Amino acid sequence: MATITIRDLPEDLHLMLKQRARRNRRSLNQEVIAELAEVNASETLGVEEQQRVRLRAEWMVKKAAELRKPIKRVLSGRDIDSAKREGRA
């Protein structure tokens, strides 16, 4: 795998990426890779495909928010793993 160093990254951009990474439950490195991959993928898609992908992503975010509404607290990885184990029993 290649490595890249980013110099003189504006502080506000750094904070925005960190917040987005936290929201997406990714490391900062994973978030930057995901963002770069998304930009690259969008450049290879036609306008109609980009719109379809955007609408699908918006629908998924809305659906995820609806599914989270009944949850009264943020679940930790440990909570999720425990629920998975209980479901397998």
Residue type, 9: L
| pTM for the whole structure | 0.50
Better pLDDT: 45 or 34: 34
The domains of the chain are located at 9-44, 46-89
pLDDT band at 19 (very low <50, low <70, confident <90, very high): very high
Q: Which residues contact 34 (CB under 8 A, 6 or more apart)?
A: 24, 26
Q: Cβ atoms within 10 A of the Cβ of 28, count?
A: 13
Cβ 20 vs Cβ 31: under 8 Å: yes
Q: Give pLDDT, residue 29.
A: 92
Residue 17: predicted pLDDT: 92
